[in-house]
Chains A and B, each alone.
Chain A
Amino acid sequence: MGLEQLLPAIAGMTWQHLVMIGIGLILIYLAIAKNYEPTLLLPMGFGAILVNIPLSSALTQIDPATGEAVEGVLNIFFDAGIATEIFPLLIFIAIGAMIDFAPLFRNPSLLLFGAAAQFGIFITMIFATLLGYDIREAASIGIIGAADGPTSIVVASRFAPNLLGPISVAAYSYMALVPIIQPPVIRLLTSRKERLIRMSSASHNNKKISKKALIAFPIVITVAAGIIAPSSLSLIGFLMFGNLIRECGVLNKLSQSAQNELSSLVTILLGITIASTMTADRFIRTDTLIIIALGLFAFIFDTFGGVIFAKFLNLFRKEGNKINPMIGACGISAFPMSARVIHQMGQKEDPYNYLLMPAISANVGGQIGSVVAGGIILTLVPLLA
């Protein structure tokens, strides 16, 4: 009896499998040692190892004796949870339950940065098309710039399931790398004088918001979004449903469950299920490197869009009422990391400059903006492509 019969997995191992196992180990290392999005990168890393051992029963295999397909558990999870979009939508309920929209009510104009900082999505989409990707693939790659994992998964699973693995890895990795990506771009685009602008309006920051307004907000937004773009409703609706559970005041137990148990359980399943697409034959391609490079491009141009929009608005604002352009960079969805990064940058320039509250307001705007961007892409691409 040869090695092939005794240990078929070793016999079937190729260098591509070994590279993927190495990538899985790197993701696990980044999650544990560097604390980069550990809730997602660790399951994805472990899953990458799991699916790259030849003949892994976690994936669907053909039984050589009968010639019939034996379904792997990760394929079952994929078909049930990702292809149907159930897992990312459940995550949206959890995220909605975690978001406090009160900072937006205190500084509503900063909501617009949630639009400006989605610029990277569309410029990346154009760039991906120039590189030869079709519109559906380009949209899926561009959505990495939403800096919002579940939105990226929903768009990619609908338009380019073949690219879901690298898109998810890029989206979650760059979200974790916001403290490294944003500061140099912001420094390049702003002067020290601009970074020193103070926005500490105490009356705004302490303004109390009515409970009724916070309860009405998710309902009104859902109805409004549904009327304007019904295709965006699954994304926005689930986010707002989670938020209504949080704000209604009578479902505290459900709100806590959504924020903790639901979020944790679905995240585990989401991470390991995405890994089912990280097989060597699908991942070790030039495409993966291009997608990872384009993801970085998207994040850089998100920051660019937000900062330049703030500078543009400052052209029309009086001295003493100007916006610190760094706040524009918080319009991405990576919450609260981006707000924290900007606050720290502000403190580095001037220890008495407190940008945290406006930064959080813009960052919450970014959470809505990314979902709206996803909804718009889901509406426009099938119509026009």
Chain B
Amino acid sequence: MTSTIQTTLFIATIGIVGIFIFMSFFYLIILALDKYLPYQEEKPTEEFMEEISESEE
């Protein structure tokens, strides 16, 4: 086996493992964002305006 093929095999192995590590990390980021920044129902504008006017009073 030539050194070129050995190096390519090494790059390929590191590469495929590296992609999985990257993507697993991104997966964890998504889970974290979803947990700490969950979806919250936005209040309708009228309700929001009412709250503001109440607080002003």
Contacts and interface: CB of A to CB of B under 8 A. Distances in A.
Interface in B1-45: 4-5, 7-16, 18-20, 22-27, 29-31, 33-34, 37-40
A109 to B, nearest CB: 7
A104 B23 contact: no
A78 interface: no
Given A210-B37, A210-B40, A377-B15, A220 B27 contact: no
Given A112-B23, A216-B33, A220-B29, A125 B11 contact: yes
Contacts, number: 112
7 contacts: A112-B24, A115-B24, A116-B20, A125-B11, A229-B22, A376-B15, A384-B7
Nearest to B30: A108
A63 B33 CA distance: 61
B23 A138 contact: no
A358 interface: no
Contacts of A285: none
Interface residues of B, number: 30
A109 B27 contact: yes
Interface of B: 4-5, 7-16, 18-20, 22-27, 29-31, 33-34, 37-40
Interface in A106-165: 108-109, 111-112, 114-116, 118-119, 121-123, 125-126, 129-130, 134-135, 138-139
* Max chain A Cβ within 10 angstroms of own Cβ: one of B16, B22, B27: B22
Interface residues of A, number: 47
A115 B16 CA distance: 7
B23 A365 contact: yes
* Max chain A Cβ within 10 angstroms of own Cβ: one of B20, B26, B31: B26
B10 to A, nearest CB: 6
Given A112-B23, A115-B19, A115-B22, A105 B4 contact: no
Interface in A24-68: none
A325 B24 CA distance: 19
Contacts of A118: 16, 19
Contacts of A129: 4-5, 8
Interface stretch (A5-13, A193-201, A288-296, A366-374): A366-374
B interface secondary structure, majority: helix
A125 B38 contact: no
Contacts of A116: 20
Contacts of A135: 4, 7-8, 11
A153 B8 CA distance: 20
Nearest to B24: A112
Contacts of A69: none
Contact of B29 (A122, A125, A221, A376): A221
B45 to A, nearest CB: 16
Contact of B27 (A111, A125, A209, A212): A111
Given A108-B27, A125-B8, A135-B11, A213 B19 contact: no
A380 interface: yes
B23 A384 contact: no
A121 B31 contact: no
A208 B42 CA distance: 12
Given A108-B34, A138-B8, 15 more contacts: A108-B30, A109-B27, A111-B27, A118-B16, A122-B13, A123-B12, A129-B5, A129-B8, A209-B34, A209-B39, A210-B38, A224-B26, A229-B22, A377-B11, A381-B11
Contacts of A220: 29, 33
B19 to A, nearest CB: 4
B20 A385 contact: no
